[in-house]
Structure 1
Amino acid sequence: MPNERKAQGAFVYVTYIRTTPERLWTALTSPEFTKQYWFGMHHETDWKQGSDWRLMFPDGRVADAGRILEIDAPRRLVLKWRNAFKPELHAEGDSQCTIELEPIASVVKLTITHTIDREESQFIKAVSGGWPRLLSNLKSLLETGDIVLAA
C-alpha cells in the first residue's frame, strides 16, 4: 500500500555509569579515549552540528559514516549513521543514533537509541550485538580503568 508506513527497527540500551557527564562526554568524543573501549576504532569529526563524521577502523578503513544532526554537550548527540564496510548493511540506508546523558546523583544514565526505517533490519541486529560490548567496555574503563572485552 502506498500510504502504509514501514515499521521502524530500533535498539535501545540504557546503562548507569559512575562518572560525571563531562567525563562521559569526553570518553564518547575523544579519539584517544574511544580507541581504548571501541576495539581500536575512533571517530573523525569536529563535533559540530551539520558536520560529517566517520568511525574509522585501526587500519584506516571507514566502518561507518554520517552527519551530526544535533549536539548539546554534555547531554545529547544525534547522528545520521550508515554502515560503510558491509554491502548488505550499507544497502539498508541511513539510521539514526541518539546518545543521551542524564546525571542522577553520583552516576550518569547513558541511553543509546539506534533506529532505522526498515522492518527486520540486519543493521539493527548488528548494532544490537555491538553496542552492549562497547558500552560494557566504556562503563568498566570509566569505573575501574580497565576494559572487560578485548577485540
Structure 2
Amino acid sequence: MTESASRFAYVIYIRTTRDKLWRALLEPEFTRQYWAGTWQESDWKPGAPWRIVIPDGRIADSGEIVEIDPPRRLVLTWRNEFRPELREDGHSTLIYELEQQGDMVKLTLLHEIARPGAKFIEAVSQGWPAILSSLKSLLETGAPLEATRKWTVK
C-alpha cells in the first residue's frame, strides 16, 4: 500500500466453523441480528451487484462482487450511499478472508480505498470492530451485542 491510499485492517478469532461464519457474513437471517437490522442483496457471483439495505428500505452501501471463493475469501467494491461526505470518497475495496484454525476461524478483514485520508475509511474503522464483535458474540453465545441490534443512523 502507498501513501495515496487509506486502509483499515482487522483480525478476529471466532469459535465456529468456516461454513457457519461464511453464512453469517452473507445471509440476511444472520446479518439482521448483529448488523443493525440490515441485510445484503447479491447473487454472490463475480461481477454481480451488491448492496446493504437499511431496515427502512434505503440503500446504505453498494458495489460489485470482484472475487468469491466460498467459504474462504470474498472481495467486493463498496461505496457509501446515504452520507454525501462519505459517498464522495468513491468506491473502496473490502476483503474477507476466513481460515479455519482448530475450533475457531481467523477472520481477516481489509477495507481500503485509493485515497489518502478518506473519511469513509475513518468511518468504517469505527464501525467494523463493533459489528465483528457482535458477530462473534452471536456465533459463540447465540446473542449479538445490544449496541449493534438496531439501526440508529438518520
What band does the TM-score fall into relative to the shorter chain? over 0.9
Matched with 2:79 is 82
Matched position secondary structure for 1:36:
helix
Contact 1:95-1:116 at 8 Å conserved across structures: yes
Cα distance in 1, alignment partners of residues 88 and 78 from structure 2: 12
1:51 to 23, 48, 52: 48
1:22 aligns with 2:26: no
1:128 to 125, 147, 154: 125
Cα distance in 2, alignment partners of residues 141 and 6 from structure 1: 37
Shift of 1:6: 5.3
Letter in 1 for 2:59: V
Cα distance in 1, alignment partners of residues 10 and 146 from structure 2: 18
Contact 1:53-1:67 at 8 Å conserved across structures: yes
Matched pairs, number: 147
1:64 to 49, 61, 66: 61
Shift of 1:149: 3.2
Q: TM-score, normalised by structure 2?
A: 0.93
1:37 aligns with 2:34: yes
Cα distance in 2, alignment partners of residues 7 and 102 from structure 1: 30
Larger radius of gyration: 1
Q: Deviations over 1:74-97 (max 9, x none)?
A: 000001000000111111111000
Quote the sequence identity (%). 56
Q: How does 1:82-101 map to 2 (within 5 A)?
A: 82-101=79-98
Structure 1 segments unaligned to the other structure (5+ residues):
none
1:105 to 102, 105, 112: 102
Moved over 2 A (4+): none
Letter in 1 for 2:130: R
**RMSD value, Cα:** 1.0
Shift of 1:105: 1.0
1:144 aligns with 2:132: no
Letter in 2 for 1:44: E
Letter in 1 for 2:40: H
Cα distance in 2, alignment partners of residues 57 and 87 from structure 1: 16
Letter in 1 for 2:70: A
Structure 2 segments unaligned to the other structure (5+ residues):
none
Matched position secondary structure for 2:74:
strand
